[in-house]
Structure 1
Amino acid sequence: MNVVNIHKRHINQPKADVVRLIKTLSKKEDKVWPNDNWPPMRFKNGLKVGEKGGHGIIRYEVEAFFPERLIVFKFLQPKGFNGIHKFEIEEINANTTLVTHSIIMKTMNFMTTLKWVLAIRWLHDALIENAFDTIENNSLEIKKHTTWSIWVEFLRFILKKIR
């Protein structure tokens, strides 16, 4: 199955400020990843081309890293996820930056497709919206938190029970 999953958010911050936040991704002082509710993104030696890491059961390798505009990760796990996910940063104007997260991949067998359709897609969508909230919340007094669907709540409940 071909998968194209794109999330975009206009951040009311200059690009330089957003880039500073993106550069903290996967570090101890991460200001992007919603670590309070999701498994942390980890790379042993930080974001560098060729570095392997991931979050939860999802594993990937840094394929490209241009901190001012693009980070590309190539999927390693789950088996059958063939493709990439990426963050892109684009200046819209002096005070607005567009952050885009995309997954472009193929699921290579029935079980992987089923996992994507029934669970991983829903969890991923919630995680990315929470990450965008985290980016925005670095400059907001009233914090944002995208609510999860009942399906995401159910999946998270099930995952906690089987761990």
Structure 2
Amino acid sequence: MGGSMIWNIHQRELPVPAKQVGALLDTVAEPGNPLWPSQNWPALVLDRPLQVGADGGHGDIRYSCTAYEPGRAVEFTFAPSMPFTGAHTLEIIDRGESGCVVRHLLVAEADGPPSWLLWTCAIRWLHDAVVEELLDGVATAAGQPPARPTSWSPWVRVLRLGFGRTTDPIPVG
């Protein structure tokens, strides 16, 4: 039985040149980079510098880099061991004089009803929180910190307790 499709998009418009934000994108897998919210989530770790073929992930989420255009886009495809088939992409869209858009797109298929239920009830909520914090990091590193930083919903707080992450540095929105 086939699974259900998952489409998940997050984006942030920034009045900053795409080239400047693209240079930040290239650091996303480096230790201590300003984008990945490792103060609140497991670090994004790869087995080599960011490039096609680099394997790794964050926490239990495993993937490999399957496409990379320096300064523009990176795609990570889920490892076969994951309950989803598909990829997520982080890209910088040049808007010329008005700046750029930073977009995170996840397109995947749940490998059956249990995987769909896991996505719907838990992973989606955690994923959304991580990505929004990542976009806050991009904006801040680009000199445009969000007026209202991301906050966790009560459900994200409950899920983090269930997954053994009890630190609570993000205020309730």
Please give the TM-score of this superposition, normalised by the length of structure 2: 0.87
Distance 1:157 1:69 in 2: 35
CA distance in 2, matches of 1:142, 1:75: 30
**1:99-151 per-position Cα deviation (integer Å, ceiling 9, x unaligned):** 11011010012221111011000000011000000011121477752111111
Q: Does the CA-based 8 Å contact 1:58-1:78 persist in structure 2?
A: no
Equivalent residue number for residue 33 of structure 2:
30
Identity across matched positions, percent? 33
Partners of 1:9 and 1:115 in 2: CA distance: 27
Show the 5 A alignment for 1:96-115. Answer: 96-115=99-118
- Going by fraction, where is strand more abundant, 1 or 2? 1
Distance 1:128 1:121 in 2: 10
Shift of 1:83: 0.5
Name the SS for the 1:59 alignment partner: strand
CA shift in 2, pair 1:136/1:116, >3 Å: same
Query: Which structure 2 residues correspond to residues 85-96 of structure 1 after superposition, within 5 A?
Result: 85-96=88-99
Match of 1:146 among 144, 150, 165: 150
Q: 2:72 aligns with which of 41, 64, 69?
A: 69
Partner secondary structure for residue 160 of structure 1:
coil
Contact 1:58 1:77 in 2 (8 A): no
Q: Any conservation in 1 of the 2:89–2:105 contact (CA below 8 Å)?
A: yes
Mind listing any 5+ residue stretches in structure 2 that lack a counterpart?
Answer: 167-173
Partners of 2:62 and 2:82 within 8 A in 1: no
3-state SS of 1:90 partner: strand
1:5 aligned to 2:8?
yes
Q: For structure 1, list consecutive stretches of 5 or more residues without a partner in the other structure.
A: none
- Does structure 2 retain, via aligned residues, the 8 Å contact 1:79–1:112? no
**1:55 equivalent in structure 2:** 58
Q: Following the alignment from structure 1 to structure 2, what is the Cα–Cα distance between the partners of residues 34 and 141?
A: 14
The equivalent residue for 2:171 is none
1:122 aligns with 2:134: no
Farther off after superposition, 71-80 or 150-159: 71-80
Corresponding position: 1:17 with 2:20 = yes
Contact 2:15–2:98, Cα closer than 8 Å, also in 1: yes
The DSSP-based 3-state class of the residue aligned with 2:100 is: strand
The answer to whether 1:159 aligns with 2:163 is yes
C-alpha contact (below 8 Å) 1:26/1:46 kept by paired residues: yes
Contact 1:75 1:84 in 2 (8 A): yes
